[in-house]
Structure formats: structure tokens, C-alpha cells
């Protein structure tokens, strides 16, 4: 499958509502530590926005809600895989992205037949503390050689300038979180990203 090359990750449907009119066509909703009803409301709103704009919504972690709400794509981290019902996810027709950081995690991800594999952090990230400091663009090249036609997503510390390097090194998709949400002009930054990923 072919995915859009720019993949912003947001923690609210409000952010998605800002990004989609600018031309974003692949977006992840990653919400942590919210009550079930609030999560359900946010995911449903994000789903409806993405349907309206013809965009792909990826729901982070909350695979049961993604199934219940008729979403098409879920992203799971390695810890999420410990508790996810992969046969149920597949039976529901959900596509699956999986985070990886080392060879063992990549082997585990590939055994799940993912629709994309994410490698990170390619550069140091301020998003969350991680035991992996910096993977480097060279690792993207090696990962892509191993996974073949499965889309490879680079995540962690990316900027539009670094995204060029990641895509040139073998990534199919470049993800961004804080580079947009902490930018003084998020809309202008999204437009920069879209130019790089065009």
C-alpha cells in the first residue's frame, strides 16, 4: 500500500480540524489518559473530519474504540501489542501500524503483518523519555532493506529539513509531533512539511 509521505500526530480532534484543510491526508490521533467517553467523542469527531476530507485517520493505542467507531487504521506500540487482540483487529478490517526501536521489536512487528512499520526516534525527541536516544538515518536504510514493500515511517525529532534526509535514506513516511504543535505558526509549518513530502 502507498501512504501519504507526511504524517502529523496530534492529541486532539481540534488539531486535526486545523490540519486537514491545509492538505494533510494522513494523521494520527494520539490521546493518553482521558476518560472513555471523552476518548470516544474525540475519536468519532476525528473520524468524521477525516471522512469529510478524504484523509486517513490512524488511532493510537485505542483499538477497541477504533473498531467500535468504524475507524480504518490503528497504531500500536510494543507495549500495546502485549494486550491487543490482533485477530479481532484483523477481523474488523483495521489496518495496523507498529512502533519499533530494535531488531527484536522489528521481528515481532513483522510477524504481525503490519501495514506500516515506524522506526524511532530517528533524532532525539522531547516528546517522551525513551531508552533509545537516537537511531540515525542510516538505520532507516537498513530497516527499509529488511521490510521491503511495507511502508517505513520515520519518527522522532523530525523537522522538514530532517524529513528530506529521512525520506532520502529510505523512509516512505515522515511523522511529526512537536515540530508542529510547538511551532509559533503551526499552519505555516504544516505547509512547509507538505512541500517537502510532495
- Residue 119 three-state SS: strand
Parallel, antiparallel, or unpaired: how do β-strands 56-60 and 26-29 relate?
parallel
A 10 A CB-CB count for 151 gives 20
Q: Which residues neighbour 94 within 8 Å (Cβ) at sequence distance 6 or greater?
A: 63, 66, 67, 71, 72, 73, 74
Name the pLDDT band for 115 (thresholds 50, 70, 90). very high
Q: What is the pLDDT of residue 124?
A: 86
Q: How far is 174 from 187, CA to CA, in rounded Å?
A: 17
Q: How far is 193 from 51, CA to CA, in rounded Å?
A: 22
Q: How far is 67 from 80, CA to CA, in rounded Å?
A: 15
| DSSP string computed for 9-33 | EESSHHHHHHHGGGT--EEEE---S
pTM score over 0.85:
yes
User: Has residue 159 got a pLDDT over 60?
Assistant: yes
Q: Give the model confidence (pLDDT) of 167-194 as tens digits.
A: 999 999 999 999 999 999 999 999 999 9
Q: How far is 56 from 142, CA to CA, in rounded Å?
A: 27
- What integer is the mean pLDDT of 45-68? 98
Identify the structural domains of the chain with CATH numbers, from first to last: 6-197 (3.20.20.70)
Q: Give the model confidence (pLDDT) of 4-22 as tens digits.
A: 999 999 999 999 999 999 9
Q: What value does the mean pLDDT of the chain take?
A: 95
User: Has residue 59 got a pLDDT over 70?
Assistant: yes
Q: What is the 3-state secondary structure (H, E, C) of 74-114?
A: EEECHHHHCCCCHHHHHHCCCEEEEEECCHHHHHHHHHCCC
- Residue 54 three-state SS: coil
Q: How far is 52 from 49, CA to CA, in rounded Å?
A: 5
Name the pLDDT band for 1 (thresholds 50, 70, 90). confident
Q: What is the pLDDT of residue 125?
A: 77
Q: How far is 92 from 67, CA to CA, in rounded Å?
A: 6
Total residue count of the chain as it appears in this document = 198
User: Has residue 61 got a pLDDT over 70?
Assistant: yes
Share of the chain above pLDDT 70, in %: 96
Q: How far is 147 from 108, CA to CA, in rounded Å?
A: 12
Amino acid at each position: 500500500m502507498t501512504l501519504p509521505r507526511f504524517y502529523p500526530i496530534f492529541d486532539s480532534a481540534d488539531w486535526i480540524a486545523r490540519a486537514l484543510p491545509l492538505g494533510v491526508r494522513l494523521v494520527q490521533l494520539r490521546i493518553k489518559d482521558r476518560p472513555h467517553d471523552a476518548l470516544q467523542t474525540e475519536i468519532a469527531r476525528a473520524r468524521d473530519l477525516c471522512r469529510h476530507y478524504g484523509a486517513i485517520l490512524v488511532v493510537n493505542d485505542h483499538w477497541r474504540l477504533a473498531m467500535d467507531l468504524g475507524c480504518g487504521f490503528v497504531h500500536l506500540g510494543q507495549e500495546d501489542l502485549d494486550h491487543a487482540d490482533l485477530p479481532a483487529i484483523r477481523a474488523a478490517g483495521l489496518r495496523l501500524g507498529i512502533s519499533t526501536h530494535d531488531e527484536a521489536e522489528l521481528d515481532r512487528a513483522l510477524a504481525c503483518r503490519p501495514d506500516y512499520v515506524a522506526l524511532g526516534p530517528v533524532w532525539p525527541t522531547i516528546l517522551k523519555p525513551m531508552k533509545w536516544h537516537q537511531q540515525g538515518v542510516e538505520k532507516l536504510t537498513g530497516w527499509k532493506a529488511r521490510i521491503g514493500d511495507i511502508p517505513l515511517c520515520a519518527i522522532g525529532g523530525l523537522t522538514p529539513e530532517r524529513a528530506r534526509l529521512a525520506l532520502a535514506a529510505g523512509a516512505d513516511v515522515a511523522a511529526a509531533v512537536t515540530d508542529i504543535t510547538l511551532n509559533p505558526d503551526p499552519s505555516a509549518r504544516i505547509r512547509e512539511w507538505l512541500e517537502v513530502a510532495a
